[in-house]
């Protein structure tokens, strides 16, 4: 009698967001980049492919990424995302509310990718991706920090499990959850923002912290002032050369 394989535990990860200084020339032909070489200025899709590369043949991974990963096309990220979707590896995307972390207030998304989408103990979900828009959930503990209640967590988890469970009674919930076809996703240019699919109003979220934005704008303004002074000097010098 053959021995039954032990269940494979899921991989859970919270990689750093939008890392810009990660690249090394030795990574150029790395075997992990099966779906495309990630841009040198952002490690988001390096992390995605790293997790995928190390998954068992029937493994599932859940991880947190900045929301830019859902829609960015810079540096080939859009092509990598499209290939992951077309390869039937993206299982579920959950849009989370902002202010869930102590060190940053930006909203994030939960990604679930899986090599076990063919019905092995789960409902066969090929040709579909589950989108959950949880941006309105959570309770503010302070001006800068939000917490998901047990009820919020249960609502998200039970929706995903009912979608994946062969005996689950999943139904789309307008404004919260939608099981979208690959054709639907293709019509949205392979953008994975849940608000586009569940019927919730798509909001444009400024992910930059106010203090950081003020500092950045101040530097940009002073740079323009300096550039203006340099231009004025050049004009004065040339007019002087002309004897004007």
| pLDDT tens-digit series, residues 117-150 | 665 555 677 899 999 999 999 999 998 899 999 9
What string of pLDDT tens digits covers the 244 residues of the chain? Answer: 233 344 555 678 888 888 899 999 999 999 999 999 999 999 999 999 999 999 988 889 999 999 999 999 989 999 999 999 999 999 999 999 998 888 777 889 999 999 876 655 556 778 999 999 999 999 999 988 999 999 999 999 999 999 988 777 899 999 999 999 999 999 999 999 999 999 855 555 555 566 666 777 777 787 788 778 887 887 888 777 776 5
- Phi, psi (5° rounding) for residue 211? -60, -40
Thinking of the domain 11-204, which architecture would CATH place it in? 3-Layer(aba) Sandwich (3.40)
- Domain range annotation of the chain: 11-204, 208-244
How far from 230 is each of 222, 233, 237, CA to CA, in Å? 12, 5, 11
Give the C-alpha separation, 170 to 92, whole Å.
14
Tell the residue number behind the tokens 């929301």, with chain if given: 67
Q: What is the pLDDT of residue 48?
A: 96
Q: Measure the CA–CA gap between 168 and 205, rounded to whole angstroms.
A: 34
Give CA separation, 120 vs 40, 63, 157, 162, 203, in Å. 37, 22, 20, 15, 37
């Amino acid at each position: 009698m053959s021995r039954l394989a032990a269940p494979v535990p899921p991989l859970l990860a919270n990689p750093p967001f939008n890392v810009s200084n990660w690249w090394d020339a030795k990574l150029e032909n790395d075997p992990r980049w099966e779906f495309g070489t990630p841009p040198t200025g952002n490690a988001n899709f390096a992390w995605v492919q790293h997790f995928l590369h190390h998954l068992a043949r029937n493994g599932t991974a859940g991880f947190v990424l900045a929301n830019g990963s859902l829609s960015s096309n810079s540096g080939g990220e859009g092509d990598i995302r499209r290939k992951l979707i077309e390869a039937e590896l993206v299982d579920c995307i959950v849009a989370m509310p902002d202010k869930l972390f102590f060190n940053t207030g930006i909203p994030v998304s939960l990604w679930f990718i899986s090599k076990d989408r063919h019905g092995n103990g789960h409902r066969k979900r090929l040709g579909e991706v589950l989108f959950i828009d949880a941006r309105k959930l959570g309770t503010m503990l302070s001006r800068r920090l939000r917490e998901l209640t047990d009820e919020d967590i249960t609502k998200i988890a039970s929706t995903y499990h009912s979608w994946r469970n062969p005996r689950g009674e999943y139904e789309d919930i307008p404004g919260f959850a939608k099981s979208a076809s690959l054709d639907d996703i293709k019509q949205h240019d392979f953008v994975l923002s849940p608000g586009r699919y569940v019927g919730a109003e798509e909001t444009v979220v400024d992910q930059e912290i106010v203090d950081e934005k003020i500092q950045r704008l101040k530097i940009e303004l002073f740079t323009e002032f300096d550039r203006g002074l340099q231009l004025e000097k050049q004009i004065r010098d040339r007019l002087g050369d002309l004897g004007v």
